[in-house]
Amino acid sequence: MTDDVLAVHGGSPLHGQIRVRGAKNLVSKAMVAALLGESPSRLYDVPRIRDVEVVRGLLGLHGVKVTDGADDGELVMDPTNVESASSDEINVHAGSSRIPILFCGPLLHRLGHAFIPDLGGCHIGPRPIDFHIQALRQFGAVVDKTPEGMHLTAPNGLHGTKLELPYPSVGATEQVLLTAVRAEGVTELRNAAIEPEIVDLICVLQKMGAIITVHTDRVIEILGVPRLGGYNHKPIPDRIEAASWAAAALATRGEIEVLGAQQADMMTFLNVFRSIGGQFEVTDARVPRPGVSGVEGGIKFWHPGGELQAVALETDVHPGFMTDWQQPLVVALTQARGLSIMHETVYEQRLGYTEALNSMGATIQVYRDCLGGTPCRFGRRNFIHSAVVAGPSKLHAADLVIPDLRAGFSHLIAALAAEGTSRVYGVDLINRGYEDFEAKLAALGAHTERL
């Protein structure tokens, strides 16, 4: 046996209250942004997840002093003495995260050179870094690829440029922002990602002294500045984690209040949740008054009883239905009456997790065709990227092996909804993006134990 196995005794509704902290997809990038400053930065409401530890380690290797602040979840990052790190030290982190590629611009600005190891992350498609490298070269970087990674230099400094993304990639947009803010001149980025986490990163950079304009039609303009300071920032809450718990409430016929969740960034998800038959209530924060403590707001999600209804969905870039929402929601859709359609248009290999759901009694068929309103970039490339879910299906326990972060939480939801005891292998991978998920499960009345 290994302590990376969780026994899940399913079949009982989840009830209770949990809290989400800062968004995983913002916090780690804001930590990288601290490298660009010449004074300390403070980041609040930071979740205790593996990705944060990876970035904290990488910052430490480059001379950034990272300490815990006075408040729970507060990080203080002092980049006063940024220094080079050895390839061997950095390589310790190779394969554990895709974040290192975003260190390129900040390190080139601070040191004039950077080394980036081979990249890891979840195996949901190749997510090539070609555009990252192409963009850095347009800024003036010289890239030398070696077997252990990439060595970058900027002998003539970095200069603003005009770029257009072939697809509004979040990672590529972050790369341009983190590089352009201190590049000499103006950078214009077209077809940029505009996810809430991207807007929040722009807020972080603006607090540091950056000049960034978000135009209509996915155009972002950055006027480079010679130096940046630190920031104090509380990130937006994690809308992926909030939606994951919402799907768990629906799949187990329970009720979960997610404190910290915000309506504005989840509107698309909330519409779908209601269309399926789920109910939710937005609970706004109440301001403390003399003698009365303040109460944090959030969103309460619940299954109202009766039958859930099938839906047809396509994932898309923001403001569309987020790709990271689809896996947890598909588990809930196995309990909906009729045929639901899920057309994945963001990652080409994100439906592999459905095989495990079928082994538990679900009826999910996957297709290479575009089962959506408009053809997508995967339609003629032989990728399995559409699914039809027939329901309702009675799920039963099984042995499950977690393949990636979001699929892992989906497997966990399925085990909670299924009758009997499932053994879920590789659960520590869930720690990459879900803080204290076992403690939260316990708070919701779930019966689990480490084996």
Q: What is the CATH number of the domain that holds 372?
A: 3.65.10.10
Query: Are 15 and 50 members of one domain?
Result: no
Strands (E), 147-254: 149-153, 162-164, 186-190, 211-215, 219-223, 232-233
Contact between residue 175 and residue 132 where contact means Cβ atoms under 8 Å apart: yes
Query: Are 114 and 182 members of one domain?
Result: yes
CA distance 310 to 114: 50
Query: Are 272 and 413 members of one domain?
Result: yes
Kindly name the residue from 104, 122, 203, 370 that is annotated as catalytic.
122
Count how many domains the chain has. Answer: 2
Query: Are 170 and 261 members of one domain?
Result: no
CA distance 280 to 49: 27
Q: In the prediction, which pLDDT does 287 show?
A: 62
Query: Are 202 and 79 members of one domain?
Result: yes
Annotated catalytic residue 376 = no
φ, ψ dihedrals at 266, nearest 5°? -120, 15
Query: Are 306 and 185 members of one domain?
Result: no
50: left (phi over 0), alpha (psi -120 to 50) or beta: alpha
Chosen domain end from 175, 208, 233: 233
Range of the domain at 97: 24-233
Query: Are 351 and 204 members of one domain?
Result: no
- The two tokens of residue 323 are 């790709």
Give residue-wise pLDDT tens across range 8-49: 999 999 999 999 999 999 999 999 999 999 999 999 999 999
Query: Are 47 and 180 members of one domain?
Result: yes
Residues tagged in the binding site annotation? 24-25, 98, 324, 346
Residues tagged in the binding site annotation for phosphoenolpyruvate? 24-25
Query: Are 181 and 311 members of one domain?
Result: no
Rg of the chain on CA atoms, in Å: 22
Residues 6+ apart with CB under 8 A from 86: none
Positions in the chain whose pLDDT score sits under 50:
1, 120-127, 292
Chosen domain end from 199, 233, 267: 233
Chosen domain end from 233, 252, 269: 233
Give residue-wise pLDDT tens across range 141-200: 999 988 777 899 999 999 999 999 999 999 999 999 999 999 999 999 999 999 999 999
Query: Are 228 and 281 members of one domain?
Result: no
Residues 6+ apart with CB under 8 A from 110: 35, 36, 79, 82
Query: Are 290 and 150 members of one domain?
Result: no
Among candidate residues 98, 105, 120, the one with its CA nearest the CA of residue 163: 105
- The two tokens of residue 191 are 């077809």
Query: Are 188 and 308 members of one domain?
Result: no
